[in-house]
Amino acid sequence: MATISRVFPRFENKWVMVTGAGTGFGRTLAKRAAAEGANVVVHYNNSKQGADETADAVRALGREAVIVQADIKSWDQIKAMIETAWTKTGGIDVLMNNVGDIATDQKDWREIDEKIIDRVLAVDIKGTMLMIHEMGTRMLERGKGNIVNIASTVVVRGSPRAPQYAAGKYGIIGLTKSYAYAFAPTVRVNAFGPGFMETEAILNRFDWNHGRKERVLSQTPMGRVPAPEELAAAALFLATDDAAHMTGNFIMCDGGYSMIGA
């Protein structure tokens, strides 16, 4: 696994909040933001130990870390969490809406049931929408802010394994465009679509270990599946001053896997 050291300080003395920061890509985003000078609000739902480890990594880079907990399927919990985060930090500059449900326990579209549909859409659409709504409202009142929603390249190719996951991530594109228009010009809202990464969630998936990895590699011009560290800087770019004239955009970082039809 690649390590992250201090790099160009694109977020010096800013507060960046990362949802789902106790594991996977969320942890990597939090560490990268800290490496670039940010203080970090580390959100988790169930991964308390992971959140503690992420916060320790942030502090090891010389930055402040605040840990908050909420199930983002609950509007009341989101409100309470954002109130806590805002009070402890004095204001959030960047929200990285990373948390999502990819239905890792589903091996095939035939396994679909109503509970799985409801769970995935509640996290990926409802939860993302409420996070944008609540955080964006405060950012507007403050007069500045950036929101980056982590979508997926699945919106281009679909998901024969879990169609509700593709629907949920496609919904994030609609939310991004809608709130980008509503919040302009004060708060920018963009979406980032990572391709496959070597996260624990992917590496433990049944289909990934039974032929899917080989198919993905054969269709990826770059010829490899990267570590999350290789994508984090690109995702955070959307929240930097270098992207000051970008809002309502969706950019992908997948080694060319989804360039078909572009």
Cα–Cα distance, 85 to 25 (Å, whole number): 21
Are 23 and 200 in contact, with CB atoms under 8 Å apart?
A: yes
Using DSSP, state whether 121 is helix, strand or coil. helix
- CA angle, corner 55, sides to 24 and 82, nearest 5? 90
Residue 165 annotated to the active site: yes
Are 1 and 199 in contact, with CB atoms under 8 Å apart?
A: no
Using DSSP, state whether 98 is helix, strand or coil. coil
Q: How many CA atoms lie within 13 A of 47 on its CB side?
A: 18
Q: How many CA atoms lie within 13 A of 208 on its CB side?
A: 14
Are 132 and 151 in contact, with CB atoms under 8 Å apart?
A: no
Catalytic residue among 44, 165, 179, 257: 165
Catalytic positions, please?
165
